[in-house]
Amino acid sequence: MGRSTDPRYLAVDTLNKLESSGEFLKDLLDAQLQKSSLSRLDQGLFTELVMGTVRMKRSLDYVLAQFSKRPLAKIHPALLNVLRIGVYQLLYLDRIPPSAAVNEAVKLARAFGHEGTAKFANGVLRQVLRGRDSLVYPSLEEHPAEHLGLKYSYPDWIVEHWLDRWGVEETAALCRALNEPPQLQIRVNTLKASPAEVRAHLEDRGASVEPGRYLPEIFTVEPAHLAVADPWLDQGMFYIQDESSALAAHALQVEPGQTVYDLCSAPGGKTTHLAQLMQDQGRILAFDVSPRRLALVEENARRLGISSIATAVGDATQDLQLPPAPRVLVDAPCSGLGTMGHRPDIRWRKRAEEIKDLVEIQKGILHQAAGYVDGQGLLLYTTCTLTSWENEEVAHWFLAEHPEFRGEPFPEGFPGCGPEPWLKTLLPHRHGGDGFFLALFRKVKF
């Protein structure tokens, strides 16, 4: 097997590049898949090995440290990634025989090193194989954050924050849910096709298509590649979007003919969904600070056959001098922790200290947004993260700073949990999909 057709070799190579380049995992995965000669089956294994190893890195290193006589800091980075991939297969991939996982890792250690590194890898992995059923973690009762962080592979600061919010059982369930391989969900573009037509089309091509939990235009599709590679995607019959994200457009309760401002619109999932719910009648003004990212909104609108969206480059923390409108969406820049299921590298990229800067940006955008809402209009604030600092605390700050608004209860039956009817948090283990937050405000004084 050549290197361009060896999913394990390419997985190690991708992990090495991730650590040395600082690029985002998704970009590296896409680039590797495009230039490789992997079969469809091996593409799946390659993706699983990379995503899973990144996701479980802290747990894998904890296990390796128990069985390696050499400190992990003194192991060459490429060899360490070989060992991580080997341990990941031994602990989490039941379909791969343990002997195959060890033997393939030994070959990789030789390819990325020499005979000595191959022998070292063989010894460590066989030790892990013998001892994997007797792994010991810190006490859950005495050290809950350390226990959950090591067992489920999260930084302590994330686990500690969730423990303060939700307690041990809820936090453990959330950690497990965000470690599950993500499912692909699509949003049917009802401007071009009905949900029944799209479902029948994908099922005719061998896909398993299940309805979303809450929205009739959402489907979960397995295997994912049958939707990603389907020509109907390019023709705009459907759009890849998580159901949690899709709920935002429904929460804003738009109507045909309205004017809507989407202040942080790229790449356009929520923007185009709003247009769809408005039957492409009215006007949506979509802003983003990045011209490159704004071009994605334009591209998605063209593909979906939408004409009601106009784009404009603009920094939403500054006054955009917009006349009042009945609906305003602030899908704010955030830490993105709710998307860790399909973006596992986020947990290692974000730091608690960075949240303060994000909160200031979020507050700045909301402060400007307040001036764009007309009398009795709605303002929706959303994030795809799960920290109270960016979510509930920002929402309460907004009401304290802007008494002309009040919290507006969500429509009856709207999913999510929260201490008040105008705040909704979608948790993966309770509601499926990504973690997501929504706060709805109505302007009552003008």
Beta strand spans in 119-269 (E): 184-188, 208-211, 218-222, 238-240, 259-262
Asked if 163 and 141 count as a contact pair (C-beta separation under 8 A), the reply is no
Q: With b meaning 16 or more CB within 10 Å and e meaning fewer, what string describes 63-85?
A: bbeebbeeeeeebeebbbbbbbb
272: left (phi over 0), alpha (psi -120 to 50) or beta: alpha
- Give every CB contact of residue 199 below 8 A, 6+ residues apart in sequence: 209, 219
Rounded CA gap, 170 and 138, in Å?
A: 19
CB half-sphere exposure, 301, CA atoms < 13 A: 25
Options 175, 334, 384, 417, the catalytic residue: 384
Alpha carbons within 13 angstroms on the beta-carbon side of residue 280 total: 10
The distance from CA 330 to its chain's CA centroid, rounded to whole angstroms, is: 18
**Distance between CA atoms of residues 223 and 41, nearest Å:** 11
- Report the b/e string of 145-177 with b at 16+ CB within 10 A: bbbbbbbbbbbebbbbbbbebbeeeebbebbeb
- Is there a contact between 335 and 350 (Cβ–Cβ < 8 Å)? yes
Backbone φ and ψ for 437, nearest 5 degrees, come out as: -135, 140
The helix or strand, by DSSP H or E, that contains position 279, with its residue range, turns out to be none
The 3-state secondary structure of 95-116 reads CCCHHHHHHHHHHHHHHHCCHH
Give the SS3 label for residue 218.
strand
3 state SS for 384-441: CCCCCCCCHHHHHHHHHHCCCEEECCCCCCCCCECCCCCEEEECHHHHCCCCEEEEEE
User: Nearest Cα to 130, choosing from 95, 90, 84, 92?
Assistant: 90
> Which amino acid makes up residue 215?
L
Question: Using CA atoms, how far apart are residues 369 and 98, in angstroms rounded to an integer?
Answer: 56
Q: Scanning the structure block, which residue is given the tokens 């302007």?
A: 443
SS3 state at 166: helix
**384: annotated active-site residue:** yes
Active site residues: 384
